[in-house]
């Protein structure tokens, strides 16, 4: 097959189509998962929880304890410097 973009890589239509179709399926799955996550937050809100705070907790849980504590300490210093505490 002819070189499709002049750099020595051969592109086959079948291979390209399969890659595109795989990416499309994954995008659909990602959308489905995103919709499921929205549903969880809607349920949390309906039960009286604050979705924003739940999202913050999720971010914190991804971090190492020391990293989070350091960030919080710096935030406290900044807030005090601005007279916000």
3-state secondary structure the chain: CCECCCCCCECCHHHHHHHHHHHHHHHHHHHHHHHHHHHHHHHHHHCCCCHHHHHHHHHHHHCCHHHHHHHHHHHHHHHHHCCCC
Note the pLDDT of residue 76.
Answer: 96
In-domain check, residue 52: yes
In a domain, residue 77? The reply is yes
Whether 5 is in a domain gets the answer: no
Tell me whether residue 57 is in a domain.
yes
Instruction: Look at residue 8 in the predicted model and tell me its pLDDT.
Output: 59
Q: What is the pLDDT of residue 9?
A: 73
Q: Give the pLDDT score at 79.
A: 96
Would 1 be classed as within a structural domain?
Answer: no
- Give me the pLDDT at residue 1, please: 46
Question: Is residue 7 domain-resident?
Answer: no
Q: Is the pTM of this model over 0.85?
A: no
Domain with 57 in it: 13-81
38 part of a folded domain: yes
The ranges of the chain with pLDDT < 70 are 1-8
What's the number of domains the chain is made of? 1
Instruction: Please give the pLDDT value at position 5.
Output: 57
């Amino acid at each position: 097959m002819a070189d499709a973009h002049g750099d020595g890589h051969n592109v086959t239509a079948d291979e390209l189509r399969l890659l595109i179709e795989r990416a499309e399926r994954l995008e659909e799955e990602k959308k489905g998962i995103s919709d499921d996550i929205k549903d969880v937050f809607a349920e949390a809100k309906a039960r009286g929880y604050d979705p924003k705070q739940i999202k913050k907790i999720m971010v914190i849980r991804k971090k190492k304890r020391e990293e989070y504590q350091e960030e919080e300490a710096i935030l406290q210093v900044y807030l005090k410097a601005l007279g916000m505490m």
